[in-house]
């Protein structure tokens, strides 16, 4: 045996004896009851506002973006980054309600923002179609993910945006009504500026947006989230951190950050940029600054989890027993009529559209048992979060709860590339997702595997078919994610099958469809719409008579408000009965102050009585029927 071999052998023996001694030592030491991983892991749902699929550097494909997001990029390497993640809806409120409730927006009758008013066209004669009634709120009786976790021993917190009631932070119910122990509503550094070219934050300690050493403004929303973590880390916690960034207004309080992107993009600000930005692409320095500002606030939370000891698990950091779900409420908002914010290319369109740019979102999930540095092409949805969180935390499913998403915990922990691990309630592999947006652009869509069908209710073509990906022998490659090549003419049988499946989904959910406007001169068959000829109120029953003019009445709905005349006047829908002889009856809820009737004919025209006019703002009680003699039109119920 040579000298080197003898040294290696001796070192091996010393190491072995050391390990045996250490093992004996730990065996003789009584195990502390809390040295094992706590059975209830923490959960953080970090929800961005209007953050697009191409707004993060880690999602760059094709042309690189100028946005810098180092903290989120680093976080993506600690978990799974999903390339085919979707929001439940293309706008804010329905997506947020769906994520918190696990219920599809179509089933919940909450398909857009600012609901809770009677159906009416935005312009009496100019709009050919109108949206159906849709709810302004997530019903208070909904068992949210916060309530389910709270019942399982979790402390629950919310910071930031709510917007699943009548207003952003007004109306009922609020977070405290739906399972949150802690709730703060500040807009933080995203509070509006009168002039985005001036009024920047300073380093004055009294400045509410005071700059830190790196030139980033103080953000109360992030501070509130951090306060919740600091105060509740000794218990299992669930934090819903719903930041306002990067929603309009497009501005920043950091002059240093704004100047950085002006230099990087080679642009010079003028007085015209006070309100508008007209240059196309990802060239808006205000938006660039907002993105990096948002990334920095996320970094504060990530670093806190990484550097803070876990009181429930000595010797470990909070991050080791915390699941973090990072995503956006909908696709990126590319701009408005007067300004360009960003560009979701190669995806088509953006927020307020069910095309890929409006519904595809960034999604990164990290936590115990989840592999790090993995990217997945499996199709997932925000509706999946609720059942997945229940599974990851060992929380029982609320009694009678129906989920429109799937539990993806097995995918997360076993094989993020295996789509067959996501299964519907019947055990079948989930390969289908559906979106319904009977508002604004009046459209629905369904994706089945590689293909996506779009149904347009008010524009041509009526149907569009795109092959987003091409899968062969289980291998998926990028196809037409730009939705540029409509295959309707080339694949009529697939179009018919997917369209029928879309109808089946909508029917099962009792989804509401948009209506034709009988006052628009462009609409054929409008002369056949029915007319209401009389009304009366007998006790608690509202009665109406109507005359058909060629088209059969197929549906009747009672619309009523319990708070007519209030600033947040809110309308609800209740069923009405179509009776023989051109009659309709409806039981008036006891709390109703005002009401009206909607008739729908066989051609999908809607007739409202009294006729609703969008010019009254939210005060539709001024033209509705009073529910009693005490409530004359326009008088607020006391």
Boundaries of every domain in the chain: 42-116+132-421, 442-514, 523-626
E strands in 275-357: 322-328
Reported as a single tens digit per residue, the pLDDT across 122-150 is: 999 999 999 999 999 998 899 999 999 99
How far, in Å, CA of 26 to CA of 300, rounded?
Answer: 37
What interhelical angle do 220-232 and 285-307 show, nearest 10?
10
The percent of residues above 90 in pLDDT, for the chain, comes to 87
Per the model's pLDDT, the better-predicted residue between 567 and 465 turns out to be 465
pLDDT surpasses 60 at 354: yes
**pLDDT band, very low/low/confident/very high, at 239 (cuts 50, 70, 90):** very high
Cis peptide leading into 246, omega within 30 of 0? yes
pLDDT of residue 2: 43
**Among 514, 573, 579, which Cα is nearest to 129's?**
514
CA distances from 602 to 173, 409, 528, 597, 606 (A): 36, 45, 10, 17, 10
The percent of residues above 70 in pLDDT, for the chain, comes to 93
Q: What does 55-70 look like in DSSP terms, one character per residue?
A: SSGGG--SSPPS---H
**Among 486, 459, 196, 467, which Cα is nearest to 339's?**
196
E strands in 380-510: 380-381, 432-437, 443-448, 451-456, 463-467, 469-472, 475-478
DSSP letter assigned to residue 39: S
pLDDT of residue 629: 55
Element counts in the chain: helices (H) and strands (E): 12, 26
DSSP letter assigned to residue 566: S
pLDDT surpasses 80 at 628: yes
Tokens of 253: 């309080």
Q: What is the mean pLDDT of residues 381-396?
A: 98
DSSP letter assigned to residue 337: S
Domain 442-514 falls in which CATH fold? Arylsulfatase, C-terminal domain (3.30.1120)
How far, in Å, CA of 544 to CA of 532, rounded?
Answer: 7
How far, in Å, CA of 577 to CA of 13, rounded?
Answer: 88
Whether 527 contacts 618, CB under 8 Å = no
Reported as a single tens digit per residue, the pLDDT across 319-334 is: 999 999 999 999 999 9
- Domain 42-116+132-421 coded CATH 3.40.720.10: yes
Tokens of 391: 């599974």
Q: What is the mean pLDDT of residues 62-86?
A: 97
Name the phi and psi angles at 437, rounded to 5.
-135, 75
Mean of the per-residue pLDDT values of the chain: 92
pLDDT of residue 540: 94
pLDDT of residue 140: 85
How far, in Å, CA of 327 to CA of 383, rounded?
Answer: 12
pLDDT surpasses 90 at 23: no
Residue with tokens 């936590």: 367
Reported as a single tens digit per residue, the pLDDT across 143-197 is: 999 999 999 999 999 999 999 998 777 788 999 999 999 999 999 998 878 899 9
Q: What is the mean pLDDT of residues 475-485?
A: 96
379: helix, coil or strand?
coil
pLDDT surpasses 70 at 632: no
Class of domain 523-626: mainly beta
Fold match, 42-116+132-421 / 442-514:
no
């Amino acid at each position: 045996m040579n000298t080197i071999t003898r040294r290696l052998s001796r070192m091996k023996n010393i190491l072995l004896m050391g390990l045996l001694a250490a093992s004996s030592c730990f065996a003789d030491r009584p195990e502390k009851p809390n040295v094992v991983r706590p059975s209830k892991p923490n959960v953080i749902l970090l929800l961005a506002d209007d953050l697009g699929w191409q707004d993060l550097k880690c999602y760059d494909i094709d042309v690189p973006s100028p946005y810098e997001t180092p903290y989120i990029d680093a976080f993506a390497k600690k978990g799974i980054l999903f390339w085919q993640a979707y929001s439940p809806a293309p706008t804010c409120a329905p997506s947020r309600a769906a994520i918190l409730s696990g219920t599809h927006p179509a089933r919940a009758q909450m398909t857009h923002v600012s609901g809770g008013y009677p159906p009416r066209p935005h312009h009496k004669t100019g709009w050919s179609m109108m949206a159906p009634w849709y709810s302004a709120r997530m019903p208070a009786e909904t068992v949210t993910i916060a309530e389910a976790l709270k019942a399982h021993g979790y402390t629950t917190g919310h910071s930031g945006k709510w917007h699943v009631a009548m207003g952003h932070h007004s109306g009922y119910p609020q977070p405290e009504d739906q399972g949150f122990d802690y709730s703060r509503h500040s807009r933080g550094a995203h509070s509006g500026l009168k002039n985005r070219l001036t009024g920047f934050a300073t380093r004055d300690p009294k400045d509410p947006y005071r700059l830190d050493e790196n030139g980033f403004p103080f953000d109360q929303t992030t501070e509130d989230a951090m306060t919740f973590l600091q105060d509740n880390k000794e218990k299992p916690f669930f934090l819903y951190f719903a930041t306002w960034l990067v929603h309009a207004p497009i501005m920043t309080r950091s002059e240093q950050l704004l100047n950085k992107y002006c230099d990087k993009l080679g642009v010079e600000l003028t007085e015209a940029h006070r309100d508008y930005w007209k240059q196309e692409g990802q060239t808006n320095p205000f938006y660039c600054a907002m993105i990096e500002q948002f990334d920095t606030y996320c970094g504060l939370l990530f670093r806190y989890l990484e550097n803070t000891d876990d009181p429930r698990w000595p010797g470990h950091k909070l991050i080791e027993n915390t699941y973090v779900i990072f995503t956006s409420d909908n696709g990126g908002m590319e701009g408005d009529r007067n300004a360009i914010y960003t560009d979701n290319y190669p995806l088509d369109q953006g927020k307020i559209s069910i095309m890929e740019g409006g519904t595809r979102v960034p999604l990164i999930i990290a936590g115990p048992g989840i592999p790090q540095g993995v990217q997945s092409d499996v199709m997932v949805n925000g509706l999946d979060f609720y059942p997945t969180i229940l599974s990851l935390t060992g929380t029982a499913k609320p009694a009678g709860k129906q989920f429109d998403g799937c539990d993806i915990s097995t995918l997360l922990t076993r094989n993020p590339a295996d789509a067959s691990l996501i299964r519907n309630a019947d055990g079948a592999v989930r390969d289908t997702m559906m979106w319904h947006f009977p508002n604004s652009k009046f459209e629905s869509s369904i994706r089945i595997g590689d293909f996506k069908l779009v149904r347009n209710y008010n524009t041509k073509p009526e149907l569009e078919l795109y092959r987003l990906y091409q899968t062969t022998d289980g291998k998926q490659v990028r196809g037409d994610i730009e939705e540029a090549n409509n295959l309707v003419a080339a694949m009529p049988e697939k179009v018919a099958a997917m369209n029928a499946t879309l109808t089946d989904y909508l029917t099962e959910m009792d989804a509401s469809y948009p209506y034709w406007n009988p006052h628009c001169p462009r609409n054929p068959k409008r002369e056949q719409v029915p007319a209401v000829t009389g009304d009366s109120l007998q006790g608690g029953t509202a009665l109406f008579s109507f005359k058909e003019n060629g088209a059969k009445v197929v549906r009747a709905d009672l619309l009523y408000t319990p708070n007519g005349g209030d600033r947040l006047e809110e309308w609800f829908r209740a069923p009405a009965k179509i009776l023989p002889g051109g009659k309709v009856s409806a039981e008036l809820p006891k709390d109703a102050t005002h009401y009206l009737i909607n008739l729908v004919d066989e051609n999908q025209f809607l007739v409202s009585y009294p006729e609703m006019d969008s010019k009254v703002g939210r005060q539709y009680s001024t033209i509705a029927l009073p529910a009693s003699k005490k409530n004359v039109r326009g008088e607020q119920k006391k």
